[in-house]
């Protein structure tokens, strides 16, 4: 049985990042077999990578729509702070979860409304909001961490960051479930088609009667919600909120999205590509150290892979346009 031309055209863009992931894994298995043939490294990956992956899924939708959001890291800190404060006040992680998610979605909604309402490029608006939200959370917290030691062992905490079967981190299962939902949303719904149309040609989408403004605001709100969820999971995993939460995620999230093949110009992207990109980024850091190299090589390799990937996808897209092939 052979795949149909339509199916082949959909799978083709996923092959490069899948090949990179497998080659990288094979390289680290050869150079650091004691680490990469042990199950512990994969449990570690399943513990830490989901925090980046969940935000990267939301960012994929934003970039597909032709937008950028540089404020998600501050959103993680702000939402995590509200989660920690409410959880400490009520003793209920679920009450904290509701507060944190509401704040995260609200921040994303505000970002989207300002971007759409003012017409200022989203990259500029969200740089400003990144400073604003970070400043707010530092003022509210006084720059002090919020410890949550009592959440360890609570059923609500175990639901989100416990260990299924005593081994598999629950946050990995949440990230996998969200990946399936996001993939269905992006690739199998009219809203997904709308986002791609908007990212490809916003004016043409508006002339076709598509809800451009509502869709653009919606993806910012959705990214805000997913950023908040990631921040809350990180708080639960560490039983602590800290003022610099999210600051190290900026490069990792964007690298995951673009290494995964999402177009920097909007209009195309895939959830599988982003998930594979997240795994590549997460594997590089552990692999470089396990192979006996200096940790300073990590950023170098991250940058090398990112530049190579973005250049490769740009050239491939140009070639497809020249041949008149539309692959989404």
User: What is the residue-wise DSSP string for 237-306?
Assistant: HHTEE-TTTTTTHHHHHHHHHHHTT--TTSS---HHHHHHHHHHHHHHHHHHHHTT--TTHHHHHHHHHH
| Helix, strand, or coil (residue 109) | helix
| Helix, strand, or coil (residue 38) | coil
| Helix, strand, or coil (residue 2) | coil
Do the Cβ atoms of 208 and 26 come closer than 8 Å? no
Helices (H), 119-146: 122-141
| The model's pTM | 0.90
Give the per-residue pLDDT at 9: 63
Residues 6+ apart with CB under 8 A from 258: 264, 277, 306, 309, 310, 313
Do the Cβ atoms of 35 and 286 come closer than 8 Å? yes
Query: Which residue, 160, 177, 182, is CA-closest to 260?
Result: 182
Tokens 């994929």 belong to which residue? Answer: 60
The Cα–Cα gap between 56 and 53 comes to 5
Task: Show the CA angle centred on residue 124, arms to residues 298 and 49, nearest 5°.
Answer: 30
Instruction: Show the low-confidence residues of the chain (pLDDT under 70).
Output: 1-13, 321, 323-328
Work out the angle between the directed axes of helices 271-290 and 15-31 (0-180°, nearest 10): 20
Taking the CA atoms of the chain, what radius of gyration do you get in angstroms?
Answer: 20
The Cα–Cα gap between 217 and 202 comes to 14
Do the Cβ atoms of 263 and 63 come closer than 8 Å? yes
Q: Which letter does DSSP use for residue 210 in this model?
A: -
Give CA separation, 266 vs 35, 53, 119, 186, in Å.
38, 19, 17, 13
| Helix, strand, or coil (residue 147) | strand
pLDDT tens digit string along 169-219?
999 999 999 999 999 999 899 999 999 999 999 999 999 999 999 999 999
Query: Which residue, 218, 246, 204, 281, is CA-closest to 61?
Result: 218
């Amino acid at each position: 049985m052979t795949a149909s031309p339509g199916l082949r055209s959909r799978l083709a863009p996923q092959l490069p990042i899948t090949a990179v992931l497998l080659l990288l894994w094979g390289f680290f298995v050869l150079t650091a077999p004691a680490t990469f043939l042990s199950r512990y490294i994969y449990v570690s990956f399943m513990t830490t990578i989901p925090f980046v992956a969940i935000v990267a899924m939301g960012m994929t939708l934003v970039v597909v729509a032709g937008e950028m959001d540089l404020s998600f890291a501050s959103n993680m800190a702000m939402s995590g702070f509200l989660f920690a404060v409410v959880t400490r006040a009520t003793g209920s992680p679920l009450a904290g979860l509701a507060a944190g998610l509401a704040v995260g979605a609200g921040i994303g909604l505000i970002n989207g409304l300002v971007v759409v309402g003012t017409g200022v490029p989203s990259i500029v608006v969200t740089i400003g909001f990144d400073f604003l939200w970070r400043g707010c959370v530092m003022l509210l917290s006084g720059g002090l961490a919020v410890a949550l030691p009592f959440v360890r062992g609570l059923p609500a905490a175990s639901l989100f960051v416990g260990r299924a079967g005593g081994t598999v981190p629950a946050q990995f299962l949440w990230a996998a479930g969200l990946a399936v939902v996001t993939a269905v949303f992006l690739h199998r719904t009219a809203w997904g088609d709308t986002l791609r149309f908007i990212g490809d040609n916003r004016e043409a989408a508006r002339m076709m009667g598509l809800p451009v403004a509502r869709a653009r605001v919606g993806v910012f709100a959705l990214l805000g919600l997913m950023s908040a969820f990631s921040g809350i999971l990180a708080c639960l995993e560490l039983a602590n909120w800290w003022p610099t939460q999210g600051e190290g995620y900026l490069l990792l999230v964007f690298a995951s999205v673009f290494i995964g093949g999402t177009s920097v110009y909007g209009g195309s992207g895939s959830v599988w590509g982003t998930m594979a990109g997240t795994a590549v980024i997460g594997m590089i850091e552990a692999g470089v150290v396990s192979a006996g190299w200096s940790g300073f090589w990590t950023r170098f390799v991250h940058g090398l892979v990112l530049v190579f990937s973005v250049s490769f996808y740009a050239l491939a897209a140009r070639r497809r346009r020249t041949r008149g092939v539309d692959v989404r």
